[in-house]
Structure 1
């Protein structure tokens, strides 16, 4: 059952580029990405982690390529994974060339850090020859010396100037297959930088609040910062940066997009908070259902409400719903219509079954 959102977000129009087979920008879905924390040179460990990231719902993954062993490993890694790979390059232009030649779908670089025009041209030529896009990645913690001296400290204007400078370096090489990020660990600095940059360029924007912190604090900072920008229609791909498992970054990224009705992937659960009116253990039930339904990729809405005060109204707007009733007689709703009574002990098995049936129906109707 599709619920019409109260407000439709009008996305800012950007040009479309491709990272592997994933289109970014334009009217294409906002993609979710993360970064591995394995040594890329350890191909087997990196492959294992990327497969977990894929299963969690990532569209793109970035890997660090600080040395030749890492860029060499890309060839083996690419054979075993399905999602596009972005090679993270900081200073050494030769690593960028090797990454492109060994299968990277995108290079994360700042051209100004690569070296002279000859080296930049070699990187661009390798990108073009291997159908590789480029992400210009500006970070408040690593601004160019002259820009930092000009502005005295990282500020939105400094990040934007750095981004435009690096974009122009690539444009001077007739390269336009690129996306841009202007990240900071400060929410307000990041928001302002992205807002200003979105007025100056039409390239796709990669959103992120960098070095956001641990799971709870980082998720909150990322949700506030990126949520503000996404609500304004700014952003074409996102990465939640947490001091945690990359899989958790993917989960939070997808939840941010689901909460804004920008992406419908997986089960969207509507559930009530702790309350004395609950006829069954809602909190424990939701925790278990989140785990048991994590494998579902189809967009299914599910309401888990502990009493009849708000339950029927929420169930009327979801694919599957449970409303708590007296003496353990809870009501199951399917597509907003009462279906059958379910005792509390059977809620989890019944809901899992009905959600899986709905997911299969959606899959078959595609």
Structure 2
């Protein structure tokens, strides 16, 4: 049984109703999807499409763009043209922008029904979304809750009540193609809110820690928050919110999913922490291997170990790996030693072995 089968065995997912977002199903029995958001000026079509292209290469399955004004809304058709993943428009305050985004052909909306105007404006958006079969994500954020819900301070109950208010608005209009997110930068607050809401609705959840921080700190914070919810079976689509290149968000998201055995995209690197037995430059070697593995989309376990103690034996579950020696190292596959090579050739020889494995999976080994 592999790690991904173990993940399915030990984590019982919450049963949520499925929502169709373009060609991607969110919720139900669908895999947990990975999404990100562009940080370009949406009105700059060239820059935005280029960034979306890089996100897709990294494995992004849903992409969101901010639509703060009419100029950004007018760019949506060109951004959407030929796009191979669902495009979601992020709308606040102006319902005209939501209508324009729907008309532009987006696959989904992220709005707060309570902040785009009166009931007549919400009705107009919902009717347009219904006609085009476009789902709406109710995006509750701890930083922008309704004032009356904050009378007792910011707490999980306030987040949940805000979400339920917005759900009630849509349900009253007969609209049920809904996803919900309860974002906060406070991890315990976010965790409690999602757990509470899970007992009240069956809509799919988009989960994440908002304003998580820089790549280093934000990745840790997101792994704790998102990982905790996923381990409890909560979450149908995820975004890691980082300050920086959004491609990093996608990579971190997949690492979280792989760590829990929930997705198997790309290579997983196993490396030991080093100790006094290490006689090769393990830190540099592991760093180079990690960088080169970002180009591999197939599921693969790769081990970079500092010595024979933590080599073929402890990492025998890896598909391929390195075990360091005195200025040299062993290349092994599934715990079996293949050959011994000098330290300066370890990375290249490891990558050759990885190529052989991938070619074999593709039916080309031996050609």
Task: Give distance in 1, aligned partners of 2:49 and 2:90.
Answer: 16
In structure 2, relative to structure 1, the CA distance for the partners of 1:147 and 1:325 (3 Å cut) is: same
SS in 1 for 2:65: strand
Cα-to-partner distance string for 1:118-137 (whole Å, 9 max, x where unaligned): 22122112212223111000
Task: Give distance in 1, aligned partners of 2:330 and 2:148.
Answer: 66
Which ranges in structure 2 are unaligned for 5 or more consecutive residues? none
Q: Could you tell me how far 1:364 is from its partner in structure 2?
A: 5.4
* Correspondence 1:216-235 to 2 at 5 A: 216-235=216-235
* Correspondence 1:37-76 to 2 at 5 A: 37-76=39-78
Task: Give distance in 1, aligned partners of 2:330 and 2:241.
Answer: 40
SS in 2 for 1:153: coil
SS in 2 for 1:312: coil
Judge conservation of contact 1:12–1:234 (CA < 8 Å) in 2: yes
> In structure 1, what is the equivalent of residue 259 of structure 2?
259
Cα-to-partner distance string for 1:202-244 (whole Å, 9 max, x where unaligned): 1110111111122222111111111111111111111111111
Task: Give distance in 2, aligned partners of 1:211 and 1:118.
Answer: 32
Judge conservation of contact 2:89–2:109 (CA < 8 Å) in 1: yes
* Correspondence 1:166-181 to 2 at 5 A: 166-181=166-181
Cα-to-partner distance string for 1:278-303 (whole Å, 9 max, x where unaligned): 23222111111122121111101111
Cα-to-partner distance string for 1:177-221 (whole Å, 9 max, x where unaligned): 111001111111101001101111111101111111222221111
In the alignment of these two chains, the number of paired residues is: 362
Task: Give distance in 1, aligned partners of 2:282 and 2:75.
Answer: 47
> In structure 2, what is the equivalent of residue 311 of structure 1?
311
Cα-to-partner distance string for 1:2-31 (whole Å, 9 max, x where unaligned): 456487222111111122111111221111
In structure 2, relative to structure 1, the CA distance for the partners of 1:362 and 1:13 (3 Å cut) is: farther
Q: Could you tell me how far 1:343 is from its partner in structure 2?
A: 2.2
> In structure 2, what is the equivalent of residue 196 of structure 1?
196
Task: Give distance in 2, aligned partners of 1:135 and 1:327.
Answer: 55
Backbone CA RMSD of aligned residues? 1.8
* Correspondence 1:218-297 to 2 at 5 A: 218-297=218-297
Cα-to-partner distance string for 1:3-60 (whole Å, 9 max, x where unaligned): 5648722211111112211111122111111111111111111111111111122111
SS in 2 for 1:196: helix
Task: Give distance in 1, aligned partners of 2:39 and 2:156.
Answer: 29
Judge conservation of contact 1:296–1:356 (CA < 8 Å) in 2: no
Task: Give distance in 2, aligned partners of 1:187 and 1:95.
Answer: 32
Cα-to-partner distance string for 1:137-171 (whole Å, 9 max, x where unaligned): 0011111122223xx21110010011011011111
Moved more, 294-303 or 76-85: 76-85
